[in-house]
Copies of this chain bind each other. A is one copy, B any other.
Amino acid sequence: MIRRTSQDIRRLNRFEVLRRVYAGPGAMSRQDVAAATGLSFATVANLTAELLEAGVLVEAGHEESGGGRPRARLAVNAERGALIGVDVAETSVHAELFDLALTVRHSVERPLPPGDVRPADVVGLLGGAVEELLAVSGTDRARVLGVGVSVPGMVDREGGVSSFSPYWSWHEVPLRALLDERLGMPLWLDNPLRASTVAEMWFGAGREVDDLVVLTLRAGVGAGIALGGQLHRGFTDSAGEWGHTCLVLDGRPCTCGNRGCVEAYVSLRGIAGTWRELAPDDERTGGPDDAATVAALARAADAGDPAAVAAVERTGRYLGAAVAQLVNLLNPQVVVVGNQVMDLLGERLLPVAYEAVGRHALALPRRAATLRRSAVPHDPVTRGAATFALEGFLEDREVFGPVSRMRRAARGGGGAGA
């Protein structure tokens, strides 16, 4: 049983206030935040005071006054510290350094060798990439508020263990232990699905919406699920494995051993496969690099190549049918589609997919749901990983103590008068 305490309310409200400030581009006042969150003004003032004291927010000038006291503008204090987000993907380790305003400051990408990769190699590469980020940006280690790391597959977040990797023969790898030693900074581990989702919640569609599903389409595919404003992790941290949902009974073989999985149709490899089916003699369809093949497909479709157009169309229909299942089952307000496949095929795919959703989903949940492309700036996975670190920092009891502690401090210090 999880104990619910009033401090949870406080923590969630703190998140909420800060999310609004991130959302409003430098122009949020306390009043705006109160209106947007539905919290009382007193509470917003209280929480902002706390965030100001912690240096997370700063007051940046005032708004135009229409006769009364002008509102103070709240902004995130970018210089309060740095966050690092790392995306360990199939072929590379991508590490980025953000300031606290979640602006990308520096970026490093290190290729991973093909084939099976040992955990120690990833740890080494990751450690090196982080060191380089610190060196290049001249950031002191102590200024880093946390490092978020996204590892593919199933990750036991609490234990810090990678239970299973789709690409490598990893089993119960104690990543936290290995990385803690190497990095010496606060560390949060999770997987790319949940990273993308949390990025969406802070910086994308999730800012306005409480029930959303975030589809990640790249080498693998998955669905991050956020319901009631809370990320759903599942009983063993493995919710969101949408890729091996059966889309076509006895359809194409999938890497998982089954047939007809969603992933076999809307992942990079699946899309390349669809093109190959439709144009078996076209040598562009046969390359070993699926991302390159899909990029070629996009170009060919733009050029009016009939097989390519048909392949995109068919992919859209597959995607739509698969999304319809989610819409029926979860009745979300928004379905966000993101990552590589979107970057490559983007606008070509969504209209077809949307139309297919309409054919496959029931009227009421379909009308409720909108399908849209991710609006998260830059890479949602590294950003999401950094967001985990941000969330971790915001839960730090040293920095954000209980209210009474603040009050004692205020009394002791004695505020300087005007």
Contact = CB atoms under 8 A, between A and B. Distances in A.
B330 A232 contact: yes
- Please tell me how many copies of the chain the complex holds: 2
Contact of A331 (B234, B244, B246): B234
A246 B325 contact: yes
Interface in A303-333: 321, 324-326, 328-333
Interface string A241-270: 110111111010000101010000000000
Given A240-B329, A249-B260, A258-B360, 20 more contacts: A3-B39, A4-B12, A4-B13, A6-B9, A163-B364, A211-B235, A225-B329, A228-B232, A233-B331, A235-B333, A235-B368, A235-B369, A236-B365, A236-B367, A238-B365, A239-B331, A241-B328, A244-B362, A245-B325, A246-B321
Nearest to A243: B328
A386 interface: no
A333 B4 CA distance: 21
With a 10 A CB-CB cut-off, give which of A245, A249, A329, A364 has the most chain B CB atoms. Answer: A329
A51 interface: no
A223 interface: yes
A80 B258 CA distance: 55
Interface of A: 1-6, 9, 12-13, 16, 36-39, 154, 163-164, 210-211, 223, 225, 227-228, 230, 232-242, 244-249, 251, 256, 258, 260, 321, 324-326, 328-333, 359-365, 367-369
Contacts of A164: 363-364
Contacts of A363: 164
Contacts of A36: 1
Given A234-B331, A235-B331, A246 B365 contact: no
Max count, chain B CB within 10 A of own CB: residue among A12, A240, A328: A328
Given A6-B6, A9-B4, A38-B1, A241 B211 contact: no
A37 B3 CA distance: 8
A361 B258 CA distance: 9
Nearest to A5: B9
Contacts of A258: 359-360
A258 B37 CA distance: 41
Contacts of A328: 241-242, 244-245
